Amino acid sequence: MKKVSKLEQSIIVVFTAYPFSPQNARQIGAKIGIKDKSSRQIIYQNLISLAKKGVLSRTEDDRFCLNAAALPSIAPEKLFSGVVNVRGRRIFVSRDDTGEEVLIRQRHTLNACHQDKVKIFVFPVRRHGEQEGEIIEVIKRARTTFTGTINKIKGEYLLFCNSPNVPFKIHIAKKNLSTATEKHKVLVEIVSWGDSFSLPQGRVINDLGPEGTNEAEMLSILTSNNFPLTFGKESLTEIRSLLEERDRNGI
């Protein structure tokens, strides 16, 4: 990182506590005890300087946040790698070094999934609070295809995944539906992961059929568990038998 002034260093300290929340000169000034207008202008000039040095990123509405690429040189002690663990509606990352679990709020997940290998930035621990952090990089995705049911909501097609360990919906553009339509079970491949503020984009690579039919449900179970769709007749017969038994028992 290029040399920074004492004021710039004070500004960086503020951003390491609120790393990816965009802030303007007035907000930064309030946090370091500067409130008069002329001093805020000096802060603004320093924010621009830090953006030019690659420490901060500047938003379209003239606010600033930490540039994730600068974190290794700014706050290496706050960066850790780990594995995502989704439990119900709560998402954690188990740190590789200690095994400690760090809570990740939905807005900080970078659309990571269960068992993804990630890099996180840990926040200062709030009083009586859990250790929280934000995923800043997905190192390796555990999977890139997902099975679920297509639903049409306000004119948009969304995949509701079978697995409870997928903490997001997947948007599918109409051109990427293939032969599928609403209420079909499908296998979808991700074409763009988006970010913490936008849904992943996918395309249908296999239309499994209408939801509720034995064939579609059978294939859905297979693809959800990463089994191939090319099984021998005996295996398919056995799976159909299990599905029919499930229906008879009302499971």
- Rounded alpha-carbon distances, angstroms, from residue 227 to 23, 31, 41, 59, 127: 47, 54, 60, 44, 46
* pLDDT tier at 85, thresholds 50, 70, 90: very high
pLDDT of residue 97: 95
Task: Say if pTM beats, i.e. exceeds, 0.85.
Answer: no
pLDDT of residue 127: 67
In the predicted model, is pLDDT for residue 142 greater than 60? yes
pLDDT of residue 197: 81
In the predicted model, is pLDDT for residue 235 greater than 70? no
pLDDT in tens, 165-175: 898 999 999 99
* Contact by Cβ (8 Å): 201, 173: yes
Containing 75, the helix (H) or strand (E) segment is none
**Of 3-7, 15-19, 147-151, 235-239, minimum mean pLDDT range:** 235-239
In the predicted model, is pLDDT for residue 128 greater than 80? no
* Contact by Cβ (8 Å): 186, 206: yes
pLDDT of residue 2: 61
The token pair at 122 is 């840990």
pLDDT in tens, 170-209: 999 999 999 999 999 999 999 999 887 899 999 999 999 9
Which residues lie across from 161 on neighbouring strands? 148
pLDDT of residue 46: 94
- In percent, how much of the chain has pLDDT > 90? 58
Return d(Cα 37, Cα 41) in angstroms, integer.
6
Return d(Cα 164, Cα 168) in angstroms, integer.
10
In the predicted model, is pLDDT for residue 143 greater than 60? yes
The token pair at 91 is 């998402």
In the predicted model, is pLDDT for residue 34 greater than 90? no
* pLDDT tier at 5, thresholds 50, 70, 90: confident
* Contact by Cβ (8 Å): 142, 115: yes
* pLDDT tier at 218, thresholds 50, 70, 90: confident
Could you tell me the domains of the chain? Answer: 6-73 (1.10.10.10), 76-140 (2.40.50.690), 145-248 (2.40.50.700)
Q: 128 or 45: whose pLDDT is higher?
A: 45
